[in-house]
Amino acid sequence: MTGRHSQNGQHGQHGQHGPSGGPRARRAPEELRSHQWYGTDGLRSFSHRARTRQLGYLPEEHLGKPVIAILNTWSDINPCHQHLRERAEAVKRGVWQAGGFPLEFPVSTLSETFQKPTPMLYRNLLSLETEELLRSYPVDGAVLMGGCDKTTPALLMGAASADLPTVFVPAGPMLRGHWRGETLGSGTDMWKYWDDKRAGLIGDCEMAELECGLARSPGHCMTMGTASTMTGAAEVLGVTMPGASSIPAVDSGHSRMAAAAGRRIVELAWTDHRLSTVLTREAYEDAVAAVCALGGSTNAVIHLIAMAGRSGVDLTLDDFDRIARTTPVLANLRPGGKYLMEDFHYAGGMPGFLSRLQGHLHLERPTVAHDTLREQIAGALVHDDDVIRTADNPLAAEGGVAVLRGNLAPGGAVIKHIAAEQHLMKHTGPAVVFDDYRTMQATINDPDLGITAESVLVLRGSGPLGGPGMPEYGMLPIPDHLLKQGVRDMVRLSDARMSGTSYGACVLHIAPESHVGGPLALVETGDLITLDVAARTLRLEVDDAELERRRAAWRPPERRYGRGYGALYEEHITQADTGCDFAFLARPGEVPEPYAG
């Protein structure tokens, strides 16, 4: 395949090649999936053509052309996707230019900033909507548009299950924030300055200014939070245009990238280059390596495991830990580092970053844009060695995420140790237990709890079922009296998640969760807990006989939902270590194509 893509979305010409480099045959119009709806002589095809005329389209605008679904997660309540209405027009422009027929479909928006109790509760709902929409309409290929945390995995999970030719268009990061001469990172600096306010270091006037300077444009968080981690992972998987994941949302290069995606999907539809040819075992292992080298969000562990499952790939916590142990952190990005996504983009973006990670990647696998990943990153350059480090000058020698096991987490737990104070990476302290988040909020500053810097804060009832949906409660607040003493980190444990923009010695995703009787349900205030990240262990220092006594006395909580989506969720959600997918969506099995009549 000749030609290559630059980071601003401009691209050269592509041949019709397959994953092995050989030519891919271009299908005849009669072989397109949409032909079943439009091209036969029956009553149904007549009706479909008539209704398309009702939409205002001429026969020559769509007959015999690939029909491209543009799945747009834009909404008025999602600031990360505020610009996607305009970007959908750029995608359509590219589709029209390449001889396809674009149709835009509105799908659920998962706004991390507003949706309660957490958009994680609805990730699988969007994935199901995506899968069934692509299956039930006359669609030959799809362009997926999203970027806010749960949107990327949801869209790709559904698209993987539907398995049509697909390109993902990331929403892009917002511009960097500003306040009194300081550069702000959304999320990360929110936590930092909120703690400063609680400690009495700044007041309401400063907070009002910060409120206006923290998030200044459309786009998702510009730190290496969950949004940037997952859009970056999507690019590494090979489902975006090269360089797409770091283009700032308001940069004109973002529109050019969207148009390039529209052009590319038409070619993929003609050659029936399906998503399953791209989302391979090797692609997922490379995505894990990239997440580790980016110092990415712990949420990627859950999402990539779920995404891989939809692709028929058995990705596990052990794969993350194995890859993390041999992968250095090369991206100097907040919250574990110094810079923001805008800096990363201009330093070389994902192509430049991957050029320095080549020894950890499977370079001969295909992407949606090139025959091989090797070809996709050929000639990529890095322009700032402090933003994107070299292998001999890493930010950290090991990947930023560690997987812990022990009698407190037999199914595993995770910690983003690169974003924590290192003296806490081996720590034993007495537990202070909170049964739910509301109780914790109401009592965390109670002096009678006797919380010290040595205490281990424990939150339960916040997992996939207990949350519900594993809300981002895992960065438990440090009590006010300790903040005023200068304490900025403590060991904190939960079956919840935390924002990828957060930081601290927070052990997350403890499995099985307390709500189903996992060992976290048995912890009592005063129990000693030992965290040892180097040894990858998390241990409750209570003998087995006492734990068995407590287990015998434990009773499961009552079901929360009597009906509706919540009841469906409770019946089918899996645990964090297997991706929190719905069991009926994660399992293998054939789904027949609809009969178009």
Helices and strands of the chain, counted as H and E runs:
21, 14
Give every CB contact of residue 348 below 8 A, 6+ residues apart in sequence.
Answer: 7, 355, 380, 381, 382, 383, 384, 388
Query: Tokens representing 58?
Result: 């001429």
* DSSP code at position 478: P
Whether the CB-CB separation of 245 and 127 falls below 8 Å is answered with: no
Q: What angle is formed at CA 489 by the lines to CA 483 and CA 491, rounded to 5 degrees?
A: 125
pLDDT value, residue 24: 79
Whether the CB-CB separation of 435 and 422 falls below 8 Å is answered with: no
Nearest to 49 by CA among 567, 57, 68, 479: 57
pLDDT value, residue 13: 34
As beta bridge partners, residue 396 has 329
Bridging pattern class, strands 528-532 and 426-434: antiparallel
Q: Which helix (H) or strand (E) holds 440?
A: helix 437-443
Q: Phi then psi for 42, rounded to 5 degrees?
A: -80, 175
Give every CB contact of residue 389 below 8 A, 6+ residues apart in sequence.
Answer: 328, 329, 330, 331, 332, 356, 395
User: Tens-of-pLDDT digits for all 597 residues of the chain?
Assistant: 233 233 333 333 334 455 445 567 999 999 999 999 999 999 999 999 999 999 999 999 999 999 999 999 999 999 999 999 999 999 999 999 999 999 999 999 999 999 999 999 999 999 999 999 999 999 999 999 999 999 999 999 999 999 999 999 999 999 999 999 999 999 899 999 999 999 999 999 999 999 999 999 999 999 999 999 999 999 999 999 999 999 999 999 999 999 999 999 999 999 999 999 999 999 999 999 999 999 999 999 999 999 999 999 999 999 999 999 999 999 999 999 999 999 999 999 999 999 999 999 999 999 999 999 999 999 999 999 999 999 999 999 999 899 999 999 999 999 999 999 999 999 999 999 999 999 999 999 999 999 999 999 999 999 999 999 999 999 999 999 999 999 999 999 999 999 999 999 999 999 999 999 999 999 999 999 999 999 999 999 999 999 999 999 999 999 999 999 999 999 999 999 999 999 999 999 999 999 998
Q: Please, what is the angle between helix 317-325 and helix 281-294, to 10°? A: 60
Give every CB contact of residue 507 below 8 A, 6+ residues apart in sequence.
Answer: 404, 409, 413, 414, 415, 474, 491, 492, 493, 494, 531, 538
pLDDT digits (tens, 9 = 90+) for 425-458: 999 999 999 999 999 999 999 999 999 999 999 9
**End-to-end alpha-carbon separation of the chain, Å?**
38
DSSP helix/strand/coil, 580: coil
Measure the CA–CA gap between 354 and 358, rounded to whole angstroms: 6
CA 92 to chain centre: 25
pLDDT digits (tens, 9 = 90+) for 229-244: 999 999 999 999 999 9
pLDDT value, residue 15: 41
Measure the CA–CA gap between 386 and 263, rounded to whole angstroms: 35
